[in-house]
């Protein structure tokens, strides 16, 4: 279920519906959902109370027991209950089942939340199951008035008017789940005008619009229009009664062969369809959600409802993007730091060696960031990531230098023990002592040069060591009576020249280091540009696929409207289709407009050219 892969043993209450009408997210359940880092396929079921919703969900879980069934006319499920299980067909996906409180419970003191429970089930699910009893007739459609209230309970955009249900249908399709109508205790023959029809054909016939312009006709057509226009796909399953009335109280205990075949067979088909066809939960733009993301969305929706507001998807996604981008930033930085510590053996022998490891870790860290980040506010977070990675690189460079310097100093202290003792005992303050001092110092330098693993501060540590011995060397030189004044002057100049030569070598090393750091920064910028463009290309591809799904859905509805004789509505639908096609054409232009400033900021002219070429091709 979570990152550990352990499933939940039993369902838990996710959203509590309190008697005072307040909806409360249960934190312990939210924490379980938030632990799921895999994509989630979310199946929610709604319907009138005591219609067998929980039994369907238990079957989807592959269990007999789980969600409480109850055996009386009293409703059992309150609020929204959740059961998270490994998906039976999709590896690394989690199946999240949501069983909702029965609608229209006469035992509830406050029934205002029925519409909110219904709306939340739509907002949170990728497959939405509506469960009813008997037949799909005017009475059944009238009881589904909750679907007509969705446009007053949900806003797709912060600027959206709540009274234009049909005008904004494309926005709803981008986010709404697949729709399945399960008709329980269905005993009629599936025939229309003497012809056999499928379950789906039965639903489509029931969803045909009624002709006329009366108030009653408009009211009758509203649930039909909402289902047809808002939900991207729809499916129907009819079930006979599972067993006789006497056995219903022990339904969850009954073996498969004790149940009616006309119930078992469609149940198996229903479960198979849900398992095979249900898409992962997405937000507009085709971004697949994990349990972590779904938790944040859910809390945003519930907070809005409790504050007396209408949940707005656009605002919720913007809030989610900031949360996710911030989390992606910290995850990338943590990954970089952990991998650098794991792969680096400090001190390194060269700057190139450290930068090579840094480049690999940075590339992987930025890749992780990009794979999780949302396009909204991406530039700000990417710049922050780049700045943080630069700082962390500097920290590793300083740490590398410090470890190298400490190690080299320790080596020189150890190698110079005998020299220090000799100086202290005055062994070099005698005629010929300066030559002996130089020989000993040269011996130390030779041994030091052979020592492995000194790191990049080897020359600096040696310069420090030699400088620390300058005053002693000069004193020994001046006391050595075997050398003439001229020889002493020449020797002093030679010592200064050696020190200057070593200093010049260190200066050249620093220049090389700065050059390498600048080249690495250039590489980093170009790679981040490349990843940014690839990220936006994937975003464009997802949006194109999403737009194509919406166009196909509307084309099917356009065809049905023509067949049903609603030519004016078909004309309006055709205009919407043409507008969607035009938006799809302009999609790459919008992507280029969004990405170009980031690319230009990184100074990547080649990638700017690539973006423009892409737009022209599209």
- In sequence order, what DSSP letters do the residues of 480-545 get, joined into one string? -TTS-HHHHHHHHHHHHHHHHHHHHHHHHHHHHHHHHHHHHHHHHHHHHHHHHHHHHHHHHHHHHH
Question: Both tokens of residue 93?
Answer: 């996906």
Q: Is 0.75 topped by the overall pTM?
A: yes
What pLDDT, in 10s, does the model give residues 217-244? 888 899 999 999 889 899 999 999 887 7
In three-state secondary structure terms, 47 is strand
Whole-angstrom Cα distance, residue 370 to residue 375? Answer: 9
What pLDDT, in 10s, does the model give residues 48-81? 877 778 889 999 998 888 887 543 333 445 789 9
Mean pLDDT to the nearest integer, 84-99: 94
Mean pLDDT to the nearest integer, 346-367: 94
Residue with tokens 């939900």: 231
Q: Looking at 287-296, 391-400, 460-469, 502-511, which range is the least confident one?
A: 502-511
Q: Please classify residue 424 by burial: count the beta carbons closer than 10 Å to its beta carbon, then call 0-12 exposed, 13-18 middle and 19+ buried.
A: exposed
**The CATH number of the domain covering residues in 325-483:** 1.20.1000.10
Q: Is the pLDDT of residue 259 over 70?
A: yes
Mean pLDDT to the nearest integer, 383-410: 95
Whole-angstrom Cα distance, residue 59 to residue 53? Answer: 10
Where does the pLDDT of residue 167 fall: very low under 50, low under 70, confident under 90, or very high at 90 and above? Answer: very low
Whole-angstrom Cα distance, residue 345 to residue 326? Answer: 30
Q: Is the pLDDT of residue 508 over 80?
A: yes
**What's the confidence (pLDDT) of residue 593?**
65
Name the more confident of 582 and 98: 98
**What's the confidence (pLDDT) of residue 484?**
77
Extract the runs of DSSP E, i.e. beta strands, from 92-153.
Answer: 94-100, 127-133
In three-state secondary structure terms, 234 is strand
**What's the confidence (pLDDT) of residue 194?**
84
Q: Is the pLDDT of residue 84 over 90?
A: yes
As a whole-number percent, the residues of the chain with pLDDT over 70 amount to: 88
Q: Smallest Cα–Cα separation from 3: which of 25, 43, 41, 32?
A: 32
DSSP bridge pairs for 182: 131, 237
In three-state secondary structure terms, 435 is helix
Mean pLDDT to the nearest integer, 558-573: 87
Mean pLDDT to the nearest integer, 465-485: 86
CATH fold of 12-311 reads Rossmann fold (3.40.50)
Whole-angstrom Cα distance, residue 299 to residue 291? Answer: 12
Exposure of 605 in the CB half-sphere (CA atoms within 13 A)? 0
The packing angle between helices 587-602 and 485-563, to 10°, is: 170
């Amino acid at each position: 279920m979570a990152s550990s892969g352990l499933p939940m043993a039993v369902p838990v209450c996710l959203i509590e519906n309190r008697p005072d009408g307040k909806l409360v997210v249960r934190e312990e359940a939210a924490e379980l959902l938030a632990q799921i880092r895999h994509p989630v396929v979310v199946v929610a079921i709604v319907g009138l109370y005591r219609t067998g919703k929980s039994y369907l969900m238990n079957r989807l879980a592959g269990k007999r027991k789980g969600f409480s069934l109850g055996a009386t006319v009293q409703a059992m499920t309150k609020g929204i209950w959740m059961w998270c299980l490994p998906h039976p067909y999709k590896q690394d996906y989690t199946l999240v089942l949501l069983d909702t409180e029965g609608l229209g419970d006469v035992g509830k003191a406050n029934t205002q939340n029925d519409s909110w429970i219904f709306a939340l089930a739509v907002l949170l699910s990728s497959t939405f199951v509506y469960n009813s009893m008997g037949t799909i007739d005017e009475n059944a459609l009238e009881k589904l008035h909750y679907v007509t209230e969705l446009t007053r309970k949900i806003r797709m955009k912060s600027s959206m008017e709540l009274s234009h249900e049909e005008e904004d249908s494309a926005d709803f399709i981008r986010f709404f789940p697949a729709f399945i109508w399960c008709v329980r205790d269905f005993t009629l023959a599936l025939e229309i005008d003497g012809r056999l029809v499928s379950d789906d054909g039965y639903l489509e016939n029931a969803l045909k619009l009624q002709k006329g312009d009366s108030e009653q006709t408009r009211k009758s057509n509203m649930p039909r229009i909402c289902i047809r226009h808002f939900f991207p796909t729809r499916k129907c399953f009819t079930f006979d009664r599972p067993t006789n009335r006497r056995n219903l109280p022990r339904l969850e205990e009954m073996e498969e062969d004790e149940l009616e075949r006309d119930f078992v067979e469609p149940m198996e088909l229903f479960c198979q369809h849900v398992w095979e066809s249900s898409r992962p939960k997405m937000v507009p733009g085709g971004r697949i959600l994990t349990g972590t993301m779904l938790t944040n969305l859910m809390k945003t929706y519930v907070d809005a409802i409790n504050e007396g507001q209408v949940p707005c998807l656009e605002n919720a996604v913007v809030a989610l993007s900031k949360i996710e981008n911030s989390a992606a930033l910290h995850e990338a930085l943590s990954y970089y730091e952990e991998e650098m510590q794991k792969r680096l053996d400090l001190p390194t022998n060269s700057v190139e060696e450290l930068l090579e490891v840094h480049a690999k870790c940075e590339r992987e860290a930025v890749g992780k960031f990009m794979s999780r980040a949302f396009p909204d506010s991406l530039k700000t977070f990417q710049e922050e990531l780049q700045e943080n990675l630069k700082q962390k690189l500097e920290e590793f460079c300083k740490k590398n230098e410090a470890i190298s310097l400490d190690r080299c100093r320790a080596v020189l202290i150890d190698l110079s023990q005998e020299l220090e003792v000799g100086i202290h005992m005055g062994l070099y303050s005698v005629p010929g002592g300066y030559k002996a001092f130089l020989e000993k110092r040269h011996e130390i330098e030779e041994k030091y040069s052979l020592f492995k693993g000194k790191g990049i501060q080897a020359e600096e540590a040696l310069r420090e060591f030699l400088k620390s011995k300058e005053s002693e060397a000069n004193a020994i030189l001046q006391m050595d009576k075997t050398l003439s004044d001229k020889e002493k002057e020449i020797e002093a100049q030679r010592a200064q020249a050696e020190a200057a030569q070593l200093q010049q070598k260190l200066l050249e090393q620093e220049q090389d280091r700065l050059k390498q750091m600048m080249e690495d920064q250039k590489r980093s910028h170009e790679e981040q540009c490349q990843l940014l463009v690839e990220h936006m290309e994937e975003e464009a591809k997802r949006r194109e696929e999403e737009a194509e799904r919406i166009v196909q859905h509307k084309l099917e509805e356009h065809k049905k409207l023509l067949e049903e004789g609603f030519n004016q509505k078909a004309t309006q639908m055709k205009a919407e289709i043409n507008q969607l096609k035009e938006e799809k054409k302009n999609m790459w232009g919008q992507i280029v407009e969004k990405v170009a400033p980031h690319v230009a900021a990184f100074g990547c002219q080649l990638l700017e050219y690539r973006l423009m070429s892409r737009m022209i091709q599209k």
